[in-house]
Amino acid sequence: MDQPSARAIPTAEVLQRLEKAKKHLSNDSLPYNLLNLRDVVEKPIPDILERRRFQLIPSLSDRALSKTGPDSVAGKPHTDPIKNAAGEPYIDFYSCRSFNLYAQRGAVSGCHIDWLNGTWARLWTGLKAWPVMTNLTEQEMEDYKKFESLYLPKKGRLEMIVLEPGDTLIMPPGTMVVHAPITIEDALMDGGMFWDDQQILSILRNIHTVANHPGLSNELVARQFAGVMDSLERWVDSDAKRFAGTRDEKEFKAEFQEILADLKSVISCECAPYCKPAKCPCFQSRSGCSHWCASHKSRTCQQ
């Protein structure tokens, strides 16, 4: 499919098509909004994301997979826990790098931030309105934390992006992008998550914010996140220059360790001797425990 350059769509045109879509809506049959579909659209990722600096998620997944331990068996990694037979390698963090979306006209998502903090989305059919808000003030962030998906920014704060077939939207990693997509016409999309080597500190800070306030996102903590962070920690320790850029490597490492320690304190529990679902943050987030939950390292509730 050809990918035409982005164009300015008249507001009247969008409203006209939205009004037409409303005629097909009914409280008796709410529109589907299907996320994380697989193998519906199989197309190459946008060329710019092929650059090495944007390959961090697949690279970290491969590194984490190589550390699965002596009891793992040979074979391709599964991204589906149901198919994950005993001992088979399983890294669902890897599956975050690509997905398909299908939404029927009228489907709306409340305000949210993507958990991994870096997303691209490409429209193949239909029409999609994508309100976005960036550069939140301290007060705006406090209001957002309070109202979560029901948050309504002040008039004029949202920028409206309308996607037509062939358009690709990139929400850069390291930037808090609050968005609330609206499906104007039945829409099929592909997309994925990606990280930027040069923005890793900002990415982890934003993840820490969302981990502290899960209602800001419509996603769960990626399983194996702790293992992936262990791989990143080893990588930063051995090749800090790749991530530090022009910054002093020693200062970069110190800041990285500080942020990582904060993340570990949030994405873990101190349950002992076992977890109680009503109180355990790992159960409540449905992420499962990891080796970061130091008080019960041998528990079978680990990921």
pTM of the full predicted structure?
Answer: 0.81
Q: Please state the rounded mean pLDDT for residues 176-186.
A: 94
Q: Place 71 in a pLDDT band, splitting at 50, 70 and 90.
A: very low
* pLDDT(252) > 60: yes
Which pLDDT value is given to residue 62? Answer: 81
d(CA 15, CA 108) in angstroms, rounded, equals: 15
Q: Please state the rounded mean pLDDT for residues 171-194.
A: 94
* pLDDT(216) > 70: yes
d(CA 283, CA 275) in angstroms, rounded, equals: 8
CATH of domain 11-43+96-193: 2.60.120.650
Q: Where are the domains of the chain?
A: 11-43+96-193, 268-303
pLDDT digits (tens, 9 = 90+) for 260-279: 999 998 888 888 777 877 77
Which pLDDT value is given to residue 78? Answer: 45
List Cβ neighbours of 11 (8 Å cut-off, separation of 6 or more): none
* pLDDT(40) > 90: no
Q: Please state the rounded mean pLDDT for residues 17-33.
A: 67
pLDDT digits (tens, 9 = 90+) for 89-135: 444 677 788 889 999 988 998 899 999 989 999 999 999 999 999 99
Which amino acid is residue 203, in one-letter code?
I
* Secondary element (H or E) of residue 17: helix 11-22
Q: Please state the rounded mean pLDDT for residues 12-33.
A: 68
Which pLDDT value is given to residue 15? Answer: 66
